[in-house]
Structure 1
Amino acid sequence: MTKEKDYNLLSGLTLAYVGDAIYETYIRDYLVRSGHTRPNQLHRMATNYVSAKGQHYLIEKMMETDMLSEEELKVYKRGRNAKSHTSAKNTSVFVYRSSTGFEALMGYLHLTGQKMRMEELITWCIKEIGEKTNE
């Protein structure tokens, strides 16, 4: 028998580890279902959504528009403030940490079974990046 887990006890980096995979899977699924099938094209398009810069942009927009609950904001900050032993590639430490917070939020929503809320945010992210890339 498995014990019920308290995902509030997980580190921000652990939540981000799961969130990174979950979010990227949703993005890949969206791109393929949208009719994109060429691997190079898929990779390039996915980068708009899953890069540190893209995730930083999205979480900043979410906070600007007060989209996140207090609980979600706390999880984001826990991920953002986590001390990672890996360094940012092609971006600032600030942007990298912000994207880690974004991924922690996705991981938290997934692990706590808040699938509808997670999908609501991911759908918003897809729309937001689509509008940004079409500007």
Structure 2
Amino acid sequence: MTDFFHPLMSEQALKQCSSLALAHMGDSVYELMTRGYLIHSGLVTNKNLHRKTIHLVCAGAQAAGAQAILPMLTEDEQTIFRHGRNAKPKSTPKSSSVAEYALATAVEALFGWLYLQGSYDRLNELFTVLLPAAQEWADNQRPTRRG
């Protein structure tokens, strides 16, 4: 039976993946890690989990987190990141700038690449550094209540 939960790929197979294909995988990896973090941190209501997840997985939060992990990337990781940043998706969401979306795509491509090669410890290391910056960005985006 094929293990689709841990779809390890060879270096040669990974080189054949486009940056957008890596970002496609990395998007789900990043969201799964975010959801795992939120559940582990004690959020229990579906409304709170969903709201917080949306705030942390958006392009702006990922772009903020990208700035935090850039200094710690290896040469190979920098190459994947750069290719992801330079990928040209067909559209960008209205809720983010082109620059934010490019950085978010870079993070997702990197996370997809690391996941597909089985570098789970490195994913956790980068996510741990990225998360506080993403949280700070998300916290600063919330509208204030008028009362």
Pick aligned residue for 1:90 from 86, 95, 102: 95
**Higher Rg of the two aligned structures:** 2
| Mapped partners of 1:84, 1:94: distance in 2 | 12
Deviation at 1:130, TM superposition (A): 4.6
- With normalisation by structure 1, the TM-score equals 0.86
Find the partner of 1:10 among 12, 17, 31: 17
C-alpha distance 119-22 of structure 1, shift in aligned 2 (>3 A): same
Give structure 2 stretches of 5+ with no counterpart.
3-8, 141-147
- How far residue 50 of structure 1 moved from its aligned partner, in angstroms, is 0.9
Go from structure 1 to structure 2 and tell me whether the alpha carbon gap of 1:73 and 1:86 turns closer, same or farther (over 3 Å shift).
same
Shift of 1:60: 1.5
Is residue 2:130 matched to residue 1:125? yes
Distance 1:19 1:129 in 2: 16
Q: Are 1:30 and 2:37 matched, yes or no?
A: yes
- Aligned-pair identity in percent equals 36
CA deviations 1:99-118 (Å, max 9, x no partner) are 00110000000001111111
The answer to whether the 8 Å contact 2:65/2:131 transfers is: no
Aligned-residue CA RMSD (Å): 2.1
Which position in structure 2 is the counterpart of 1:114?
119
1:10-43 Cα deviation digits (max 9, x unpaired): 1110000000001100110111121111122112
Quote the Cα distance in structure 2 between the aligned partners of 1:126 and 1:110. 17
Q: TM-score, normalised by structure 2?
A: 0.79
Matched length? 131
